[in-house]
Structure 1
Amino acid sequence: MTIPRHRPARLEHIAGIGVDRMGSLADAGGRDYLRLENLDVDIPPDPEAIERTRAAASCDADNSYLPFIGQQGLRDTAVAHVGRMSGLPYTGERNCVISAGGLSGILNVLLATVETGDEVIVTDPTYAGLINRIRLAGGIPRFVPFRFEPGGEWKLDRAALEQAVGPKVRAMLLMSPSMPSGGVLDEGDWMRVAELCVQHDLLLIVDSAMERLLFDGRAVRHPAGLPGMAERTVTVGSAAKELRMIGWRVGWVVAPEHLMPDIVAVSLANVVVPVGIGQDAAAIALRRSYDTLPAYVAELQARRDLMLRELDGLPVGVPAGGWSMLLRVSDFGLDGETMSSQLLEQGVCATSMKGWGETHGAQFIRFVFANEPVARLAGIGRRVRTALAGVGA
C-alpha cells in the first residue's frame, strides 16, 4: 500500500536535469556511446593537485571540516583570483567563504539574500540546476532570452533585459559563458547589467565557474569592477569546470563584507565546507591555472570547431566559450526528448533541454563536448543527421 505523502510546496516546480537519467541509460546500454550528455571532463586535473590530495588523505589535519568557513590558504587564493579578474582588493579574512562546490555556494547566497516571492533574473536558456536553486530559496526565475541565430553566436537580448527589471526583481544570477548555450556577455552587456543593477538597487550573483573558458581569443570581463558594482556583486567560483576537479566538490564565495555574515550563517546551517582533503589541492590548481589553462581551453575550442564542421548547415548556436552546444531540433518536427531517444539508437548520448528555459527549452538538444576527444567526435554529423531523419528509431 502506498502511504499518501504531503509534498512541500517548494518542490512544486523543481524539475529534473535529465543528465542523470541519460547517464544511467548509457551505462546500462552495453555500447560504447559517445558521452555527450554529462558535465564531466576527460582531461585530468593538474598533477600537482592530485599529488597534494593523495598526501592530504593521510594527514590528520586535513581530515577535518575545520575551519568551518574554509582553509585560510584557499580563501586567500580565491580572493586573489577574483581580485585579479575584477581589479578589486578583496581579502580572504573578510570577503570569502569556501563552499562544497559552486552550486552549493550559489544556493547559500540565494538563501542569504532572496526573500520568498522575489524575482531573480536569469538568461534563457540557463542550467536547470541554477533555476531549481532559485526556486528552493523561495525565489521566482525571471527569464531573459539570448537571441538565437542558426549558425551564429548567442547574444543577450538587452531590450528584454531592461523590460524584465520589474518591482519584484531582487537580483540577477548570470553566468558567462552561460551553460548550456556557451553565450558570452560582452563588455556592452556587462555595462548595461551594471547600470540596471545600480539604478534598481539589485544584487548581482556571478556564477564564474566557466569564466575563463573563452574561445577565439576573448578576454575575461568581470562586472564587479564596474562603477557601483563592488558593493553589490557576489562571485561564486568552482574548481569543477576550469580546474577539472569535478569530484573534489570545492567552491568559493567572494562577496562584499556587509553580505558575509548572512552568507556564512547559511553556510554553517547547510553543508558547511568540503572536507579539508581537497581544499589545498584546489588552491594549488587555481594558482597554477594561469599557466595550465590555455592548453585546456585550446582543446575545448578544437572540439567545438570539429562539432561545428560536422554539424554545418544545421540550426546550431555557436558557443563562444564553455563546453556545450545546442541544436534546435524543432526545425525537423522533433522535441529534445524524442531526438535524445533517436540519438541513442545511433550510439550518441545527449540530453533534452526541457526545463532549461522558456524561449529556448524543449525544442533543443544539448551536446556536451568536454568528455570526448576530437578523434571520437569525428563522424558525429552523420549520426546526428540519421537521428534527425528518424532512422532506426
Structure 2
Amino acid sequence: MRANSRFEHVQPIGLDVVAAAAGNDPDVLRLENLDTDVPPPPAAVEATTRSLAECSGNSWLPLTGLPELCQAVAADLRVRTGLDYDPVRQIAITSGGMSAFMPVLMSTTEPGDPVVLTDPTYAGLLQRVRLSGARPHLVPLRVIDGHWRLDREALAEVRSAAALLLMSPSMPSGVVFDRADWAVIAQVCERTGAYLIYDAAMERIVFDGHPRINPCRVDGLAERTIIVGSVSKEYRMIGWRIGWVAGPPDIMSRVMLATIYNTTVSGGFAQLGAAAALREPSGVAEAVAEYQARHDTVVAQLDGLPVVRAGGGWSCLVDAEALGLTATELSDRLLERGRVAATPMTAWGVSVAPRYVRLVFSNEPVKRLGELRSRFEAALP
C-alpha cells in the first residue's frame, strides 16, 4: 500500500476495540462508548415516524438542510447566543455533529496550520485535525483540587493558530470553561486572527451549578465563532445522525460547499425529527439530573482512587498511572477481572490523556454503577 502522509500520526480511536472485546455479555458494565439509555424526546420519535409514513423528507434537496430544521436551529441559537442567524446563509445541516468538523477544518485552515485543542480532547476532533492536514497544538488541562482546569498560562503563550477547536463541557474530561477561560480564549483568537470552532454538543449538560457560557456572549468572539451542534447528546438522538454548523456568512459559504461535497445531504426523515426536538419540550433538564446522579455515583464508588470529577458531559477519567498501571493495562484488567468495559485515552491527547481511562456513565443506571467499587477492587493489583 502506498504511503499517505495524512495518516502518519492518526491513531485508532480505541473504544471500538474495547467494545468488541466486551461482546454482548450482559454482566459487563458498558462504560466504553458514548451511548445512552435515557430516551429521546417523544416529539422527535413521533415526527420521525410520521415523516417515514408520509415519505416526507425523502429527497436530495435542499442540499444544506430542510428549511424547517434550519429555522429551528436558528431559533435555538438565538436563545443560546443572542444572535440572529440567517437560516439560509448561516446554517448548514450535517450528518451528525462529527461530520461537520472536516468541512469546517478544510474551510478555515491550510496544510500545516496550527489548530489549538486541549489535552485531553475527543479523539474524533484531534485525529480529524491531523487528517485535514492541519497541525494540532495541544494545550494541557490540569487537575486542581480534584477538578479539571484549563492551563490558561499555556494557552496565553500561543502565538500562531488558524483555529481553536474547543468544547465545553468537553469530552472526555467533562471540563467546563468559566468566564476567565473564555476571556483568555478571546485574547488568543484576537492576537492570532484564529477562528473559534466551538463544539456545543453538550453545552447544557453541566453539573454542580457550573456557569453555562456560550462563547458568542463573550466580547470579541461572536464574529469569529463557528458553532457545531447536534441532537446526539443533549437530545439523546444518537441514531438520527443530525448536526449543524452556524457561523459568519463569509466562512459559511465555504463550509456549505464543503459539506455538500462531503455528504451531499443529511437524512430528511431524521431532519424532521430533529426539528421537532428543537421546537418541543426536550427533557434536557431531566436528563442532566439523571447524568449528574450517575456521575456522582461513579465518584462516590471510586472514593480514594484517582478519579477526576467532571463539570458536565457523559464521562469522567481515572488516572491509571497513579494506580501503577498504563491506561491500556488498566482497561484490560477492568474488562478481564472486573467485567467493566472502559476505553484507554491513548489517542485522545499526547502528554496528559494517555495516562487516563474513560468511564462513560450515560448508558448504565445508578443501580448498576453501584457495583463499580467491587469491580475495580477485583481488577486492581
TM-score band, normalised by shorter chain: over 0.9
Pick the aligned partner of 2:334 from 314, 321, 343: 343
Give, in angstroms, the shift of residue 98 of structure 1. Answer: 0.3
Structure 2 distance, partners of 1:145, 1:44, is 34
Contact 1:207 1:236 in 2 (8 A): yes
The residue aligned with 1:386 is: 378
Is the contact made by 1:213 and 1:297 (CA closer than 8 Å) also made in structure 2?
A: yes
Q: Does 1:17 align with 2:13?
A: yes
The 3-state SS of whatever aligns with 2:196 is strand
Aligned AA (2:223): E
Q: Counterpart amino acid of 1:200?
A: T
* Equivalence for 2:22: 26
SS in 1 for 2:316: strand
How far apart are residue 320 of structure 1 and its match?
Answer: 0.5
Please report the TM-score for the alignment, with normalisation by the length of structure 2: 0.97
CA distance in 2, matches of 1:43, 1:252: 22
The match for 2:89 is 94
Once residues 203 and 98 of structure 1 are traced to their aligned partners in structure 2, the CA distance between those partners, rounded to angstroms, is 20
RMSD, aligned CA: 1.3
Moved more, 206-215 or 268-277: 268-277
Give the unaligned 5+ runs of structure 1. Answer: none
Deviation at 1:312, TM superposition (A): 0.6
Residue correspondence of structure 1 range 29-68 to structure 2 within 5 A: 30-68=25-63
1:307 alignment counterpart: 298
Q: Could you tell me the percent identity over the aligned residues?
A: 44
250-259 vs 352-361, which moves further? 352-361
- Partners of 2:105 and 2:373 in 1: CA distance: 40
Runs of 4+ aligned structure 1 residues displaced above 4 Å come to none
1:239-282 deviation digits (Å, cap 9, x = unpaired): 11111110110000011111111001101111123110100111
List per-residue Cα deviations over 1:196-239 (Å, max 9, x = no partner). 21222110000001011001123320112322222210000011
Q: Secondary structure at the match of 1:62?
A: coil
2:156 matched to which residue of 1? 162
Deviations 1:109-158 (A, max 9, x none): 00111100001000110011101111111111111011114x61100010
Corresponding residue for residue 318 of structure 1:
309
Alignment-derived partner of residue 146 in structure 1: 141
Task: Give the AA of the match of 1:215.
Answer: F
Superimposed CA distance per residue, residues 331-376 of structure 1 (whole angstroms, 9 cap, x where no aligned partner): 1220111111111121111110102112222211110000001011
Secondary structure at the counterpart of residue 36 of structure 2? coil
Give yes or no for contact 2:89–2:253 (8 Å, CA) kept in 1: no
TM-score, with normalisation over the residues of structure 1?
A: 0.94
**Alpha carbons 1:85, 1:220 under 8 Å: kept:** no
The one-letter code of the counterpart of 2:45 is I
| Distance (whole Å) between structure 2 residues aligned to residue 83 and residue 198 of structure 1 | 24
2:275 matched to which residue of 1? 283
Q: 1:90 and 1:111 mapped to 2: Cα distance? A: 22
State yes or no: 1:253 paired with 2:221.
no
| Equivalence for 1:133 | 128
